[in-house]
């Protein structure tokens, strides 16, 4: 396996959660709804029906692009991508070809690697085929509720070399669209669909190792294999690993894998050939005649930036610098926007009451605070309460420890034989003797010291 380096690029589709569809006023909240109840002449592709672009969807698409550090060209347009399939009643999908809303972005992974974002464009979803058996007969039914739901496609450069990096990228992307509140990015519901493109570069032929160059600047393998419509991070990993194995076998035999589109089979964790890869020319792309080109001003784009929330990476850094939290705590607390906001609200509340951000972070993380049932102020109050430990009479404590140790000789012996957990038992026995709340950490140290000192006697 060391003879080849994987070359991987990703195409990810994200369904937006706008109220209405991309080019009509039908509700786009179709999931689990009765088939064909969210339709109209536009999304059914009836002749003569005219599309009207959804402004919110376009703004959200651009916000996704901005979050991925893309350039936003001030002139853009929609195009028709022509192909035939029963779930596409118009015979074409409105998409973007050569003038997408967002281009040339990048995203940085935690290991410092930068992944190029080639483009982020806007398109519409298709209907859904349902294969069933009715009265013993195999039939295919079509539900058009999903037809025309806004879809954003995010295409990376072939900059990935490992499944770990692919996974981190996908998690980051999911986190970003959730922060922006433009998609739930729920994999099971199909809000986010993944298509990895995979090829292998021979390590031997690439002896001129241009280390620091992005992979996309190196010569790419002459073929690539696209695996379609995967709906979980786990499966994307499986599909990639399967392809790496399969392709390296072919290459080892001196052949080149076929350029094709393959489908992932969940049961076996393998991929199977679906069709030889189509070329852009097969789609006969041309400008959508029913929608004029779109122009933005710089001011408009700047305005969109101002509407965007602080994004996860920035928040993480700020949690470290502003509150002195560890990397670990900052990662957990910035993972979801709701949790991050809860934390900061509690910090604000605790400021004048002597409760530190670190205490709040500890409490939320270690006690797994249910943020839906406690207000931040309630959390702060309970921290204050639990940290008010009663000062115990030292003499009484010493007596009780002595008593417990003499009554539990076996546990003391166990501890000395190396069973470290015996201390916890002894601690429990001591704590039981007190009705008030005492500092368990301190008591534990006292017990440990005492038991250890026995050894010298
Ligand atoms: P197509 O026009 O066939 O869709 P593109 O060149 O637009 O192909 O690339 C689609 C995806 O495939 C992108 O994510 C890109 O990074 C990736 N890709 C391109 N070349 C390769 C390659 N040799 N190996 C793996 N992925 C590749
Ligand atoms: Mg493609
Ligand atoms: Zn409609």
Q: Over the stretch 414-440, which tens digit does the pLDDT of each residue have? A: 988 888 889 989 998 988 887 776 778
Instruction: Give the strand pairing for 260-265 and 270-276.
Output: antiparallel
- Ligand 1 atom, smallest distance to 226 CA: 12
Q: Which ligand lies nearest the alpha carbon of 166? A: 1
CA distance to 68, 113, 199, per residue, from 214 (Å)? 17, 9, 16
pLDDT value at 322 more than 70 = yes
Tell me the pTM.
0.83
Confidence of residue 104 (pLDDT cuts 50, 70, 90): very high
Residue 102 Cα to ligand 3 middle (Å) = 26
Residue 33 Cα to ligand 3 middle (Å) = 15
Residue 40 Cα to ligand 3 middle (Å) = 4
Rounded Cα–Cα distance for residues 216 and 362 (Å):
43
CB of 198 within 6 A of ligand 1: the answer is yes
Q: Which ligand lies nearest the alpha carbon of 197? A: 1
Average pLDDT, the chain: 91
Q: What is the CATH number of domain 394-456?
A: 1.10.10.410
Question: What percentage of the chain has pLDDT greater than the value 90?
Answer: 74
CB of 145 within 6 A of ligand 1: the answer is no
Q: Is 366 helix (H, G, I), strand (E, B) or coil?
A: helix
Q: Please give the structure tokens belonging to residue 401.
A: 């420890």
Supply the residue whose CA is at minimum distance from atom 2 of ligand 1. Answer: 280
Residue 84 Cα to ligand 3 middle (Å) = 20
**Which tens digits make up the pLDDT trace of 372-392?**
888 998 888 888 887 766 667
Residue in 158, 206, 282 to alter for ligand 1 test, most ligand atoms within 8 A of Cβ: 158
- Ligand 1 atom, smallest distance to 277 CA: 3
Residue 453 Cα to ligand 1 middle (Å) = 68
Residue 165 Cα to ligand 2 middle (Å) = 20
CB of 29 within 6 A of ligand 1: the answer is no
Ramachandran quadrant class, 54 (left: phi over 0; alpha: psi -120 to 50; beta: rest): beta
Residues 6 or more apart whose CB falls under 8 angstroms from that of 328 comprise none
CB of 161 within 6 A of ligand 1: the answer is no
CB of 158 within 6 A of ligand 1: the answer is yes
Nearest partner of 340 among 363, 356, 364, judged by Cα? 364
Residue 216 Cα to ligand 1 middle (Å) = 10
CB of 7 within 6 A of ligand 1: the answer is yes
Question: What percentage of the chain has pLDDT greater than the value 70?
Answer: 94
pLDDT for residue 236: 97
Q: Please indicate whether residue 215 or residue 61 has the higher confidence score (pLDDT).
A: 61
CB of 201 within 6 A of ligand 1: the answer is no
The average pLDDT across 121-133 equals 96
Rounded Cα–Cα distance for residues 245 and 231 (Å):
21
> Which parts of 50-157 fold into alpha helices (H)?
55-67
CB of 383 within 6 A of ligand 1: the answer is no
Residues 6 or more apart whose CB falls under 8 angstroms from that of 73 comprise 99, 101, 103
Which helix H or strand E contains 266, and what residues bound it? none
pLDDT value at 116 more than 50 = yes
The average pLDDT across 149-168 equals 97
Say if CB 125 and CB 146 are below 8 A apart: yes
pLDDT for residue 148: 98
Residue 155 Cα to ligand 1 middle (Å) = 9
Say if CB 51 and CB 100 are below 8 A apart: no
Residue in 224, 239, 257 to alter for ligand 1 test, most ligand atoms within 8 A of Cβ: 224
CB of 9 within 6 A of ligand 1: the answer is yes
Q: Is 354 helix (H, G, I), strand (E, B) or coil?
A: coil
Confidence of residue 167 (pLDDT cuts 50, 70, 90): very high
Residue 292 Cα to ligand 3 middle (Å) = 20
Domain ranges of the chain: 4-209+274-298, 310-387, 394-456
pLDDT for residue 451: 87
**Which tens digits make up the pLDDT trace of 233-270?**
999 999 999 999 999 999 999 999 999 999 999 999 99
CA distance to 343, 354, 384, per residue, from 349 (Å)? 10, 10, 12
- Ligand 1 atom, smallest distance to 156 CA: 14
């Amino acid at each position: 396996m060391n003879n080849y380096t994987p070359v991987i690029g990703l195409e990810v589709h994200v369904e937006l959660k706008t109220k209405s569809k991309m080019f009509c006023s039908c509700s786009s909240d179709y999931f689990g709804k009765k088939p064909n109840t969210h339709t109209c002449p536009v999304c059914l592709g009836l002749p003569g029906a005219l599309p009207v672009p959804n402004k919110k969807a376009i703004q959200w698409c651009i916000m996704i692009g901005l979050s991925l550090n893309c350039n936003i060209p001030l002139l853009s347009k929609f195009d028709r991508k022509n192909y035939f399939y029963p779930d596409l009643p118009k015979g074409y999908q409105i998409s973007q070809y050569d003038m997408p809303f967002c281009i040339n972005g990048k995203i940085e992974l935690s290991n410092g690697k930068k992944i190029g974002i080639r483009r982020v464009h806007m398109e519409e979803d298709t209907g859904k085929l349902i294969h069933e058996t009715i009265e013993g007969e195999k039939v295919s039914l079509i539900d058009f509720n999903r037809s025309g739901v806004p879809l954003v496609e995010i295409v990376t450069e072939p900059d990935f070399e490992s499944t770990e990096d692919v996974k981190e990228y996908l998690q980051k992307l999911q986190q970003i669209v959730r922060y922006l509140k433009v998609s739930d990015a729920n994999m099971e519901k199909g809000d986010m669909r993944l298509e990895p493109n995979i090829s292998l570069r021979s390590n031997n032929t690439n002896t001129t190792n241009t280390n620091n160059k992005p992979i996309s600047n190196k010569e790419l393998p002459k073929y690539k294999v696209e695996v379609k419509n995967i709906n979980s991070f786990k499966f994307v990993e499986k599909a990639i690993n399967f392809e790496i194995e399969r392709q390296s076998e072919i290459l080892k035999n001196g052949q080149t894998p076929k350029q094709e589109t393959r489908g992932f089979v969940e049961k076996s964790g393998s991929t199977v050939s679906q069709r030889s890869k189509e070329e852009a020319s097969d789609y006969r792309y041309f400008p959508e005649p029913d929608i004029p080109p779109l122009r933005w001003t710089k001011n408009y784009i700047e305005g969109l930036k101002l509407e965007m929330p602080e994004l996860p990476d920035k928040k993480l850094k700020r949690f470290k610098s502003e509150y002195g939290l560890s990397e670990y705590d900052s990662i957990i607390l910035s993972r979801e926007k709701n949790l991050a906001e809860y934390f900061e609200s509690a910090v604000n509340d605790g400021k004048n009451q002597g409760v530190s951000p670190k205490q709040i972070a500890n409490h939320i993380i270690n006690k797994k605070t249910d943020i839906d049932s406690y207000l931040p102020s309630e959390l702060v109050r309970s921290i204050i309460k639990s940290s008010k430990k009663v000062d115990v009479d030292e003499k009484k404590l010493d007596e009780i420890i002595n008593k417990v140790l003499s009554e539990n000789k076996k546990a003391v012996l166990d501890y000395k034989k190396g069973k470290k957990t015996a201390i916890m038992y002894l601690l429990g026995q001591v704590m039981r003797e007190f009705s008030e709340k005492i500092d368990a950490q301190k008591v534990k140290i006292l017990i440990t010291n005492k038991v250890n000192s026995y050894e010298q006697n």
